């Protein structure tokens, strides 16, 4: 029997440095990406703070893992959903986020945007369409 | 696909419950357990949200209510109280579990 | 565990990876290669340096699949394939090359 490809969604709802959740999520995503599954990430609530640009942890003695989000494309994780309402509630716009892209090997490494801003209602439907949802 | 959403944080401390009810679609269910059971209590700020969720079934875990001194009479109308076996049955009944942690 | 480099003892973990990234000098790679009965060539160094640049940019050691793809993009298909990379690093281009490069074990290597 052929292995069935499943849709995995990681829900990221926490800010990056106050707890270990954000980094743990990212590590699990990278490890999980080794298996041939369709992986996407959602950033909502305080999770949107994870991908804000300009992070610099030199003053707090913690690893700045924000550059690692830019590697997700290399791991074939190309779908990053960001909830519009969560951004707005926090006074953010998409311009405050890192510009995350992936390169399409089939189109001579054409660079494409990974981030897709979606409404809360759209995200609810995206969650519904998944086979498995992991929460962090 | 139908989903069983779970909430285990107090609605007064974390946004988990609020986020959950804003992402629940008709035909799905919400199970409240651990500190999440406080959202099942009548007369709280959460009651209105439980009642206004259209076509969404709410459950609360009985042992967690009991542990917190919350009797069945205090639970919002329409919220069904289940035991651990009921929790397992629900998880099996729905296509997937979405945890709001 | 530790590895002796230029008169200094550098701490390594139980699998031989450097504990402190900042300890790395090129002699670390040479010494580790010698222990694995390898002589590092220009081709090895090309990959080791590539891994260090990757880590500098993304703060992770890439999984072997990701390394292969990235090498292919940078250096061409004749180098971006498992056969070429395993010939250079017989214990695994992810695990062995990352160790030589002073990086942690690749994220996504199980």
Contact in structure between B27 and B5 (CB atoms under 8 Å):
no
Distance CA A38, CA A47 (A): 21
Contact in structure between B40 and B49 (CB atoms under 8 Å):
no
What are the two backbone dihedrals, phi and then psi, of residue C74, each rounded to the nearest 5 degrees? -80, -45
Which residue stretches of chain A have pLDDT < 70?
1-2
Q: Any idea of the CA torsion for B39, B42, B48, B52, to the nearest 10 degrees?
A: 90
What are the two backbone dihedrals, phi and then psi, of residue B96, each rounded to the nearest 5 degrees? -155, 165
Q: Is A91 left (phi over 0), alpha (psi -120 to 50) or beta?
A: left
Cα angle for residues C106, C79, A76 (degrees, 5° grid):
50
In chain C the domains, ranked by start, together with CATH numbers, are: 2-100 (1.10.10.370)
Chain A residues contacting C, CB < 8 Å? 27, 30-31, 33-34, 63-65, 67-68, 70-71, 74-75, 103, 105, 109
> Is C98 labeled as catalytic in the residue annotation?
no
> Per the CB < 8 Å rule, is A129 touching B1?
yes
In chain A the domains, ranked by start, together with CATH numbers, are: 7-135 (3.40.1260.10)
Q: What is the mean pLDDT of chain B?
A: 97
What pLDDT score was predicted for residue A23? 95
List the domain boundaries for chain B.
Answer: 3-100
Q: What is the DSSP letter of C12?
A: B
What are the two backbone dihedrals, phi and then psi, of residue B55, each rounded to the nearest 5 degrees? 65, 25
Count of positions (residues) in chain A: 136
* Residue C109 predicted with pLDDT over 80: no
**Once rounded to an integer, what is the mean pLDDT over residues B25-49?**
97
Model pLDDT for residues A86-115, shown as the tens digit of each residue: 999 999 999 999 999 999 988 988 999 999
Highest CATH level, class, for B3-100: alpha beta
**Once rounded to an integer, what is the mean pLDDT over residues B61-86?**
96
CA atoms within 13 A on the CB side of C47: 33
Model pLDDT for residues C4-62, shown as the tens digit of each residue: 998 999 999 999 999 999 999 999 999 999 999 999 999 999 999 999 999 999 999 99
In angstroms, the separation between the Cα of residue C65 and the nearest Cα of chain A is: 8
Model pLDDT for residues C73-108, shown as the tens digit of each residue: 899 999 999 999 999 999 998 899 999 999 998 876
Distance CA A10, CA B7 (A): 16
């Amino acid at each position: 029997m052929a292995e069935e490809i499943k849709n995995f969604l990681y829900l990221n709802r926490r800010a990056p440095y106050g707890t270990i959740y954000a980094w743990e999520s990212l590590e699990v995503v990278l490890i999980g990406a080794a298996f041939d599954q369709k992986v996407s990430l959602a950033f909502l609530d305080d999770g949107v703070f994870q991908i804000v640009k300009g992070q610099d942890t030199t003053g707090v003695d913690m690893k700045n893992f924000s550059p690692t989000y830019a590697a997700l494309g290399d791991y074939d994780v190309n779908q990053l959903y960001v909830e519009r309402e969560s951004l707005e509630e926090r006074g953010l716009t998409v311009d405050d986020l890192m510009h995350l892209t992936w390169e399409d090997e089939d189109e001579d490494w054409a660079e494409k945007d990974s981030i897709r801003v979606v409404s809360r209602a759209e995200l609810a439907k995206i969650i519904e369409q998944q086979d498995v949802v992991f929460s962090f | 696909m139908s989903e069983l959403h779970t909430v285990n944080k107090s609605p007064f401390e974390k946004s988990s419950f609020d986020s959950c009810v804003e992402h629940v679609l008709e035909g799905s269910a919400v199970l409240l357990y651990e500190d999440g059971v406080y959202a099942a209590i009548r007369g709280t700020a959460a009651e209105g949200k439980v009642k206004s969720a259209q076509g969404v079934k709410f459950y609360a875990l009985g042992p967690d209510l009991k542990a917190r001194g919350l009797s069945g009479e205090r639970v919002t109308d329409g919220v069904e109280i289940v035991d651990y076996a009921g929790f397992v049955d629900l998880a099996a009944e729905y296509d997937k579990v979405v945890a709001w942690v | 565990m530790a590895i002796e480099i230029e008169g200094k003892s550098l701490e390594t973990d139980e699998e031989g990876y450097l504990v402190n990234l900042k300890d790395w000098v090129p002699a670390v790679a040479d010494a580790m290669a010698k222990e694995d009965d390898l002589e590092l060539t220009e081709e090895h160094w090309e990959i080791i340096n590539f891994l260090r640049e990757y880590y500098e940019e993304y703060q992770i050691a890439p999984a072997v699949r990701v390394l292969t793809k990235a090498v292919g993009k940078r250096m061409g298909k004749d180098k971006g394939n498992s056969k070429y990379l395993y010939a250079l690093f017989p214990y695994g281009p992810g695990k062995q090359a990352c160790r030589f490069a002073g990086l942690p074990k690749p994220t996504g290597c199980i």
